[in-house]
Amino acid sequence: MTELSSLSRRDFLFTTKATCGAVALFGTFPSIGLGADESEEEAGNRSPAAPILPEFPAQDRKTVEEVVTASHFGFERVKELVSARPALAIASWDWGFGDWESALGAASHVGRGDIAELLIEHGARPNLFTFAMLGELELVTQCVLAMPGIQEVRGPHGITLLEHARNGKSGSQNSGRHRKKASAVEKYLVSLGNADIKATNLNISDAKKASYLGHYSFGPGADEKFEIFKNRRGLLSIRRGQRVARTLNRVEEDAFAPVGAPAVRIRFDMSSDQAVSLTIHDPAPVIKATRSR
């Protein structure tokens, strides 16, 4: 207790915060003690005892995934991450099959103006979807006039430009002024008639869904398989191991596109009304997996 009491509250909190930040970013505690026969000056020149990750000097994949995930809902966590490492404000993550999403893209499609502004302050690059969510009518109008048809382009996960404006309008964390501005953008986009074109998703019966369910192997390893299952909303999804599952949109007979990846096709080979294999095309054939159970 003697050593701890000699620290001021401010110093103690700073040391604790710095240590926790290192754990979050590097996955280990930094070495803070002196080595044998080591002076304080020598210790100051010593590199922190953090592991060099395989992807270095690229950003740590887990931290990139975390900042993009947190940008959907976690203002304080995003603030902590980008304050420690500002480059994370421009981080992007592939949720699967090329469904890339930036931290700012995440904040934009869920209508989190507070998180979007925080990311922009740290160097994030706003785009048309951000402008729609923030209610920047003049900028959205100018983009549409300069590039007719751009309003039809969908954002991460296939979310439309109009949905971004609507979520900005309804975001409970957003100010009244923000919601009013986003409402004006929503009204403008509705007037265009083609700013809310959803990805193709044909109807499918429960019996048909059941014909695809199961595990499909493309190698002998435990991780060399896909699972086709129904998620909590009853929608067909594909997952490999512990990776994030992707919802499937039916685009043709026995063919699907993962959400956010309209050029990808997952085609099932059928026999006696049951799937026996699947092939993933992107758009050329990439991998074939055989149903194991």
Per-residue model confidence (pLDDT) at position 54: 87
Per-residue model confidence (pLDDT) at position 22: 36
pLDDT at 220 over 60: yes
Q: What is the C-alpha to C-alpha distance for residues 158 and 217, in angstroms, rounded to an integer? A: 28
| Model pLDDT for residues 136-163, shown as the tens digit of each residue | 999 999 999 999 999 999 999 999 999 9
Per-residue model confidence (pLDDT) at position 45: 53
Q: What is the C-alpha to C-alpha distance for residues 14 and 172, in angstroms, rounded to an integer? A: 33
Yes or no: domain 61-192 corresponds to CATH 1.10.10: no
Task: Report the largest interatomic distance among the alpha carbons of the chain, rounded to a whole angstrom.
Answer: 77
The contacts of residue 274 (CB under 8 Å, 6+ apart) are 211
